[in-house]
Structure 1
Amino acid sequence: MKKYLLMLLSIVIIMPMLSGCWDRQELNQLGIVLGLGVDKDGDRIKVSAQVVVPNEVSSRARGGKGTPVTQYQATARTLLEAIQKLTETSPRAIFLSHVRVLVFGEAFAREEGIYDIVEALMREPSARPDYYVMVARKTTASQILDMLTPLDNLPAEKLFNALDISSKSWAPTTTVTTDKLMQYILTPSMSPVITGVEINGDPVIGGEAKNIESIKSPATLHFSGLSVFKKDKLVGWLDENHSKGYNYIRDNVKSTIGAVNCPGGGYVTLKTLRTSTKHSVKMVNGEPQIRIKVDNVSTVGSVECDMEIGSMTAIKEIEQIAQERIVELMKETVSQVRRKYHVDIFGFGQDIYHKYPKLYKKEEQSWDDYFMNLDIKYESNVQIRRIGTLDNSFNKKAKE
């Protein structure tokens, strides 16, 4: 009898712990947010939420004519307060677990700084930190999230996928998630860099259904350079070439395509198959010297000059030109950042910290000043493994 009573008591104690539905939320009661935008509205924060319209998404295959997403906006003193305030207009509870992109308006990032927003979202347990962060260039986050996009019905999903693919195949773009961004902001010797997104065309038409009803959309979203931050405030932008140089230095380039000049005029287009960048530090005359080495393996994509591309001499010549071009890109990028922004976005401080921690600790609080005179050496090694299915170009014969 005692045995049965003990078993019954155990069941009574364990049963409440097995209740797995105490915090359930019904799908038809949730407003699933895919894109979150943050803008400045006077001295307050304006939050824009791109929310999925379930009925339209499911009905598009059956010829639905409504938009697949809608946008709700609210203004408040803090981010989470504004998100909660969205329920004044949204008929469903705001659900942040599926956010794909976080967009900062350029004015907000430049004037207010992004730290408080990033920290608030990191604290929020329902928001996963694996979404991509971007800055709306020459526009607001609200306008970016108001755009309808062809091919992918969900604009925020389009932005996520496009940046993910672009960062792997096009050197001037890069991805930054919230946890990585927080790490950059909190590191004294590492300033953040975030990809910018811009509107080409009329943003008003971009938010209308006719933007996706023609072969060529009147308004499109495209990535435009990298934004440079000092701590958590935007200070400027890198153009396409300098963005590429930054990514080479940071070992962010996976694959890309670029043209190099032929000695007699014209171009050879090289497609990068793989690349890796290594940093090393050594003491020279009592001062640290950063050494950057890029190893690049490429293939010839196209030949638009009179070079005899099938000879080893020509291949070695192109490799030398490509090596010089990569070194030039990295040098120009560091020079531009030093001249215009005076911040270390390359992680050189962390390189020194790992090799000479005592020296780093001494200079940590004034690292950006130390970075201005840091000795940096560049090296590039390009190997062309394939020249395609043709040896030489038909260019010369075609013009005879």
Structure 2
Amino acid sequence: MHQLAKWIVIGFVALSSLMTTGCYDRQELEQQAFVTVMGIDKAPNNMVDCSLQIAVPKTPGSGGGSSSGSPLSAAAPLTFRAHSITEALMMANTSVERSITLSHLSTVIFGRSLAEGGLQSVIQPFVRYREFRRTMFVAVAQGTAQEVMASNKPVLEHSSSRMADSIYVMGGRVGLFPVTQLNDLITAMETPHQDVILPLYAVNQSIKDNPKGGAIKSGEVFQPGSEARSGGNPVEWIGGALFKGDKMKDTLSGTDMIYLRMLRGTVKTTNIDFQINKQREGAVGIYIRKERSPDIKVVLSNPVKVKVTLAFDADLVSEPATKQASVISREDKIKRLIEKKLEEHIKEVLKKVYNQDKLDPIPLSNHIRGHFRTYHQFVSYDWTNKLKTLQPDVSVKLSIRRFGKRLEPVTER
């Protein structure tokens, strides 16, 4: 009996060793090419141009001397024309010395022409292929994704992955562009009465033509690709691309994006300047912090009415030179001026997005679900056509907490 038990144990151990995993399919780090950024553009004959930016591992310099670049600085992007993304990735293995892997892919950029035509045809691999993570950031190029990737010259970061993380952390602090992940895009495409907005990447041609800087050419404030500046990275990330389903319909400037993100409750802090009159004699500048989430009430009347209440804390950071009394004595007047300006601008954005474009990126549809007894009734409701006559009512409650380091402006005696 003892001998039988011994052979049973030996047989069990032998069989177990056959079922354990081995390392026959292992891949060493030196055998992999890590893609950090992917760009997808529309190409002729129903094909796509797939651009890949590959991290180039480098050995950090030893001793006190500084090493050139980052341990994961990126090589120039490579572009492959194929019938699909997966085919392009396979083609990349014919000219890249290492096996292509997407485990470090942080950002996917869609070209504008592709986005306007619809992402339905290219989005399928992102859902099914195991290496595409839904936490990847997605964006739209003002022109082509290939141009944006080729023109990108970071000011500080050398690692593409770290650059993406830094940009999108900053997005939550300034509000000039949305922070959108692949999961947000897919969820909006699959959810009735809900639209998505992606950040816009644009190439500033004047910076690209004169990278060393020089005289500032005419430009527009907070407009993608048109910023009036000199030197730095030719690529700008500002504003948003509005989508209806899988198709891009319109764009928003950086300023409009701040107001839309206020309505969504996704901007924590930001700076805003208001011109006090048409002569632009001066501006009132405030630093805003979100006090609480937006209070939104939707009435399904004809037309649909929306009441939005926003509450903010603010620091006064600038005001026009004046010989008037201390700012404390004028606090109520300044507060009413800022509240009125905020209400006007936010209402303009609502009319543009909802009345003109008939889109719902906030989405307000989340606030009407309780009006329907069943999900089928909610889906069948003609929400899109109701948006063109939607009547917004915006109320802003501002609390000015601080007035800066002094109470009186600097004036000439």
Alignment of 1:231 with 2:245, yes or no, is yes
- How far residue 116 of structure 1 moved from its aligned partner, in angstroms, is 3.5
Query: Distance in 1 between the 2:12 and 2:207 partners?
Result: 64
Q: Which has the higher helix share?
A: 1
What secondary structure, in the 3-state scheme, does the structure 1 residue paired with 2:319 have? strand
User: What amino acid sits opposite 2:400 in the alignment?
Assistant: I
What is the aligned counterpart of 1:39 among 27, 41, 48? Answer: 41
SS of residue in 1 equivalent to 2:382? helix
Q: CA RMSD in A?
A: 3.2
Structure 1: tracts of 5 or more residues without a match: none
Q: Distance in 1 between matches of 2:356 and 2:136?
A: 30
Are 1:152 and 2:157 matched, yes or no?
Answer: yes
1:127 alignment partner in structure 2 = 132
The residue that corresponds to 2:342 in the other structure is: 326
What secondary structure sits across from 1:334 in the alignment? helix
TM-score of the pair, normalised by structure 1: 0.85
Matches within 5 A, 1:159-198: 159-165=164-170, 167-198=171-202
* 1:296–1:309 Cα change, 3 Å: farther
Partner of 1:77: 83
Q: For the residues of structure 1 that align with 2:129 and 2:140, how far apart are their CA atoms?
A: 21
CA apart distance, 1:182: 0.6
The equivalent of 1:200 in structure 2 is 204
Counting aligned pairs with the same residue, the percent is 18
Please state if 1:106 is matched with 2:112: yes
Instruction: Report the Cα offset of residue 347 of structure 1.
Output: 0.7
2:52 to 27, 49, 54: 49
Between the aligned partners of 1:225 and 1:33, the Cα distance in structure 2 is 26
Distance in 2 between residues matched to 1:203 and 1:23, nearest whole Å: 47
Q: Secondary structure at the match of 1:237?
A: strand
Structure 2 match to 1:242: 256
CA deviations 1:224-269 (Å, max 9, x no partner) are 3211112111122112332222111111211100123558963221
- Indicate the residue corresponding to 1:251 in structure 2: 265
Q: CA deviation at 1:188?
A: 2.3
Q: Which moved more, 1:57-66 or 1:192-201?
A: 57-66
TM-score (norm 2): 0.83
Structure 1 residues 235 and 317: alpha-carbon distance in aligned structure 2, compared to 1, 3 A threshold: same
> How far did 1:382 drift?
0.9
- Report deviation, 1:156: 5.5
Match of 2:221 in 1: none
How far apart, in 2, do the equivalents of 1:272 and 1:159 lie?
25
**Alpha-carbon separation, structure 1, partners of 2:121 and 2:79:** 19
- Aligned partners of 2:193 and 2:365 also within 8 Å: yes
Residue of structure 2 in register with 1:267 after alignment: 283
Query: What 5-or-longer segments of structure 2 have no aligned partner?
Result: 214-229
1:344 counterpart = 2:344: no
1:310, distance to aligned residue in structure 2 (A): 4.0
Give the counterpart letter for 1:324 in structure 2.
K
Q: Which deviates more from structure 2 when the two are superposed, residues 194-203 or residues 259-268?
A: 259-268
User: Match of 1:353?
Assistant: 369
Query: SS where residue 13 of structure 2 aligns?
Result: helix
Query: In structure 2, how many angstroms separate the alpha carbons of the residues matched to 1:95 and 1:203?
Result: 33
Indicate the residue corresponding to 2:226 in structure 1: none
Residues 1:186 and 1:68: Cα distance change in structure 2 (over 3 Å): closer
Which residue in the other structure is 2:321 paired with?
A: 305
- Quick one: structure 1 residues 273 and 242, their matched pair in 2 at CA, closer, same or farther if it must change by over 3 Å? closer
- Between the aligned partners of 1:297 and 1:231, the Cα distance in structure 2 is 35
Shift of 1:359: 9.2
Give deviations 1:158-216, integer Å, cap 9, x for gaps. 24422331x1221221100001111111122111111101112368779xxx889xxx7
Distance in 1 of aligned mates of 2:52 and 2:61:
20
Shift of residue 12 of structure 1? 3.0
Segment of structure 1 superposing worse, 193-202 or 35-44: 193-202
The change in CA–CA distance for 1:9 and 1:37 in structure 2 (over 3 A counts) is same
Structure 2 Cα separation of the partners of residues 284 and 153 of structure 1: 51
Report the Cα distance in structure 2 between the residues aligned to 1:392 and 1:367, rounded to whole angstroms.
51
